[in-house]
Structure 1
Amino acid sequence: MPGTWHIVLGPYQVAPQGMDYHVEVTLTYGDPGPKYIPAYPPTRAKGRGRDWYRGDCHLHTVYSDGRNLPADVAAGARAAGLDFIVSTDHNTNASHGAWGPYAGDDLLIVTGEEVTTRNGHWLALGTQPGQWVDWRFRARDGVFDRIQQQVHRAGGLCVSAHLYCPWIASEWKFGFEGLDATEVWTGPWGWDDDAAVSTWANLLAAAVREKKRWLPAMGNSDAHNPGNVIGLPHNVVLADDLTKDAVLAGLRAGRSWIAGSAAVELEFTATSAYGRKAGIGERLAAQPGEQVTVRLQVSGVPNGTVRILTDEGQMLQSSLDSTGAGTVTWLTTPQASAFVRAEVRHPLADGTPGHTSMDPGLTFGPMAALTNPIFLGRN
C-alpha cells in the first residue's frame, strides 16, 4: 500500500534510561492485487423475537495476538451453541472487514476492540465497522472519559476487562465511572475471577446505598488460540431480537446472566405477595415489608452448589444432586434485602460443595453460572 507507514512499539515497561531496539522490515512485491473491499458483518441475524441469546464478547484472532482465524472463531462459536459474538482484537479494527462471510442467520457477529492500555484493558463493544479506539493513554492522563464518550456516541458499550489479571499492565486502574458493565469472569475460573466478583458485589451494594446506577456483570472467554474454549464463559442476555442494538441494550440494562457452557440453564425470578414478578436486571416494585419469593431453577451442573446472595452476603446455600437439576426458593422482603442475585458453583476438586470461610484458598468450586441482580423495593 503506497504512503508513509509508521511502526508503533508498545513495550509494557521501559527503564528510566530507555531501551535499545532493532526493527527489521522486509518488503516484497508482486503483481497488483484486487482492491481491498471490507466485508463487514450484518447487524442482525435470524432471531426468535424477545428471548434469551447466548454470546461471547471477548475474542481474538490473528489480526492481533491470537492464532485463531476468523473462520475458526465463528466455527467455535457455533460449536459452543452461541447466538452472537463480539470481535475484540487488541488495539485494532483490522479484523472488522473480515467477518462478513462468517456471519449468518444463526450467528450475529458484532465489531469491537479490546483497548489495551498500560493501566488495564477494556472492551469497546459494538463500535462502528472500521472504527478505531485509541489506546495510547494512562489512567492519570485524564482522557478516559473522552474516549468512552466516543464509543458511546457510536452506540457501543465500555466494559472493564479481567480486573485482576496478573500480567504486567493488565490490572484495572481506571475506576468504574462511565462504564456500562464490568467483566467479572474471564476464561477458566481462577482466584482473579473470585476477586472480581467480590469487587463487583461491593460496587452493587455501594450503588444501592448511594442511589447511583449499578454496573452489570459480564463473563467472556478471552479466547486467543485453538486450545482456548470459546464460550467459556459467555453471556445469556434477554434481547428483543438477535440484532446488534438489541443485544447491546440487554447487556447495558443487565438483563443477563453468565454461563460456563450452553449445557447450563437457569431461570431466576422474584415474586411479590401480590403477584408482581421481576427477572434478572429488573426491579420488583414491592412494599418494604411485603413478602417476596425468590426462585431459582437450574440444570446442567451435576453435584453443584446453589447460592442466593443479597447486599448482606450469602443467605442460602443448597446442593444439587448428580442430575445437576433443581429448584430452590427463599423468602425475604425489600426491607431486608436491597437486591438478590444467584451463583451456581461446581463442586471443589475433592467433591465437596464448599462453604463460606476465611481459608486462604478458594472456598467454593469453579463458577458454573452467575446472575445479575434483581432489585427489590420501589426506590
Structure 2
Amino acid sequence: MPHAETIVLRRFIDKTEEKTYPEVPFAVEGDVERIEVRYAYERPDGRTVIDIGLRSPERIVGWSGGARASFFVGLDTATPGYLAGPIPSGQWRVLLGAYRVPDDGCEVEMELTIVREHPRWLKGDLHMHGVHSDGAYEVADAIRSCKDKGLDFVAFTDHNNASQNRATLAADDRLVLIPGVELTSYKGHANLLGRLDALDDFRVLTPDRAAEALRRAQESGALVSLNHPFCPDCPWELGFVVPYDAIEVWNGPWRPLNETAVRWWHEQLVTGRRIVAIGGSDTHAPHPLVAHGMPTTHVRAEAASKAAILDAVRAGRVVLSFAPDETFVDLAIGEAGIGDTRSDDGQTETALSVTVTGAAGDTVRVWSDRGLEREWTVEREGEFVFRVPTDRLFYRAEAYRYLPEWEREILSCLTNPIYMQGGNDRGESTD
C-alpha cells in the first residue's frame, strides 16, 4: 500500500447556504500520521469568501477562516491554528464556512493527502540548552536555528529544569519537539527524554541513588541516555550498572572525549552487550564549532512523532553524522537494517550492503567484534556490497575525514550495528 493517498472532493454551495457551515466527509483508515488539505474556489464577484477548518470524529481540530489556502494536522506537528495529536480512524470532515456566497453559488474543490505511517530516516538533535538553564537561546530562537539547519526533531534538555518543556507545549509546523531534561549532578549527567517532567530530584551522588532516579524516569516513559560519559570536566562517575537506554558517544565537536566513548562502546559490543549509541550537540549559545545539529542524530522512525522517534532510538535504528547534510552511511544485510538482528539462514557468508551518501574522499571502515573488516576511500556516492562471514556478533560502520586545516582526522559518520543472530538478546543496558 502506498504511504500517501490523494483524494479530491467537491462541494457546490448554494446562495441559500450563506452563513452556514457545510461539512464534507471523508474516511480515514489505518495508521495515519498526517492529513494535508488544500482548497480553492472561484470568486467571480471578488467578494466571495468560503472559510475552512477540519473536524475529527470527536471534535473540531482547527479553523483557518479564510486566512489559509492549505493546512495540515500531524501526530506532533500541525499548521498554526490546528491541533496536533492522534489521528483516529473514522469519518472526518472538512468544515466549510459559507461566509459570502455569490447569487449563482460557487463550487469548492478540496484536495486531501492522507499520509500513513512509514519508515524513513529523520534527523535531529537530542541535546541542547537555552535560557531555562545556562544557555543563551530562547526556545523560539532554538527552534528557528534548528529549522534553518533542516532538522526534523529536537529535544530540549536544560539542566535539572522542566520549564522549557512548558514553553514548547504548542505543536510546531515543522519540528517534532521532544521534551527533556538533563539530570546534572556533581557525579555525572544523563538526559531524560520524552516526558514533560521526568525528574523530581537531581541530587544523585551515589550509584544507588542514580539507579533509583533513572529507573523512575524509565517507568514514567522517559528514554534515558548517559551523557558525555568520559568528559574530563563532568564524566559519568556513577557506574554503568544503572538503568539506561543509550550512551551519548558523540557530544559536540569530534574530540578525545568522544574517541574514548566510542572505544568503550565498541568494547561493550564485543562482549555481546547491545547498547545504543547516540549523539547531541550540547549547544548552549552561538559558537563557531558548537551548533545545533552538530552532530546530527538520524533515526529510522515509523512516523514523525515523539513516540516513534524515541522507539527508534530504543531499537538502535540510529546513525550519527557530523552535520545534517554531511556523510551518511546506511547498512543492510538482506531485510535487516541498522538496529535489527539478521536471521540465521545457515549460510557461512552473506552480503553486507553499505550505502554512502554526501561523501567524497572520506574513509569508510566496517567493524565487527573481530575488528576491522573492510576499509576504503569513497570516491563516489552509492552502494557498496561485500561478502562477509556470518559468524560475527555484529557489523557497524564509521566514516572518517582528514581536515588539512586542523591536521587531523575526524569522524564524519557512525552507525549503530546490525546484529547477527546468535549474539546476546537485547536486554537492560547494565553490566
TM-score, normalising length: structure 1: 0.77
User: Equivalent residue for 2:386?
Assistant: 330
User: Equivalent residue for 1:116?
Assistant: 184
TM-superposed deviation, 1:305: 0.6
Structural mapping, 1:1-379, within 5 Å: 44-45=76-77, 49-50=117-118, 51-100=120-169, 103-127=171-195, 129-140=196-207, 142-167=208-233, 169-206=234-271, 208=272, 214-227=274-287, 228-264=290-326, 266-271=328-333, 276-287=334-345, 289-321=347-379, 325-335=381-391, 337-349=392-404, 365-378=409-422
2:253–2:294 Cα contact (<8 Å) kept: yes
In 2, Cα distance between equivalents of 1:223 and 1:172: 23
The size of the alignment, in residue pairs, is 311
In 2, Cα distance between equivalents of 1:256 and 1:202: 19
In 2, Cα distance between equivalents of 1:202 and 1:79: 37
TM-superposed deviation, 1:225: 0.4
For the structure 1 residues 345 and 149, does the alpha-carbon distance in structure 2 shift closer, same or farther, using more than 3 Å as the test? Answer: same
1:77–1:230 Cα contact (<8 Å) kept: yes
Q: Which amino acid aligns with 1:56?
A: D
Q: Which amino acid aligns with 2:76?
A: R
In 2, Cα distance between equivalents of 1:68 and 1:348: 30
In 2, Cα distance between equivalents of 1:187 and 1:161: 11
5+ unaligned residues in a row in structure 2: which ranges? 1-73, 79-114, 424-431
In 2, Cα distance between equivalents of 1:202 and 1:49: 36
In 1, Cα distance between equivalents of 2:269 and 2:318: 15
2:210–2:238 Cα contact (<8 Å) kept: no
In 1, Cα distance between equivalents of 2:116 and 2:318: 17
Deviations 1:311-343 (A, max 9, x none): 12211110023x6x24333222222x2110000
Structure number with the higher strand fraction is 2
In 2, Cα distance between equivalents of 1:181 and 1:311: 19
For the structure 1 residues 57 and 106, does the alpha-carbon distance in structure 2 shift closer, same or farther, using more than 3 Å as the test? Answer: same
Deviations 1:44-76 (A, max 9, x none): 126873221111110100110101111111011
In 2, Cα distance between equivalents of 1:85 and 1:172: 27
TM-superposed deviation, 1:160: 0.4
For the structure 1 residues 247 and 195, does the alpha-carbon distance in structure 2 shift closer, same or farther, using more than 3 Å as the test? Answer: same
For the structure 1 residues 133 and 205, does the alpha-carbon distance in structure 2 shift closer, same or farther, using more than 3 Å as the test? Answer: farther
Local SS of the residue matching 2:402: coil
2:350–2:389 Cα contact (<8 Å) kept: yes
For the structure 1 residues 62 and 163, does the alpha-carbon distance in structure 2 shift closer, same or farther, using more than 3 Å as the test? Answer: same
Deviations 1:161-196 (A, max 9, x none): 0111121x4344321542100000011100111110
Local SS of the residue matching 1:143: helix
Local SS of the residue matching 1:347: strand
Q: Which amino acid aligns with 2:359?
A: V
Identity over aligned residues, as a percent? 29
Q: Which amino acid aligns with 2:235?
A: S
Q: Which amino acid aligns with 2:216?
A: Q
Structure ID, larger Rg: 2
1:270–1:292 Cα contact (<8 Å) kept: no
Local SS of the residue matching 1:65: coil
In 2, Cα distance between equivalents of 1:176 and 1:262: 33
For the structure 1 residues 348 and 173, does the alpha-carbon distance in structure 2 shift closer, same or farther, using more than 3 Å as the test? Answer: farther
For the structure 1 residues 108 and 278, does the alpha-carbon distance in structure 2 shift closer, same or farther, using more than 3 Å as the test? Answer: same
In 2, Cα distance between equivalents of 1:80 and 1:317: 31
Local SS of the residue matching 2:299: strand
For the structure 1 residues 174 and 230, does the alpha-carbon distance in structure 2 shift closer, same or farther, using more than 3 Å as the test? Answer: same
5+ unaligned residues in a row in structure 1: which ranges? 1-41, 353-361
In 2, Cα distance between equivalents of 1:244 and 1:88: 15
TM-score, normalising length: structure 2: 0.68
Local SS of the residue matching 2:248: strand
Moved more, 282-291 or 116-125: 282-291
In 1, Cα distance between equivalents of 2:152 and 2:116: 11
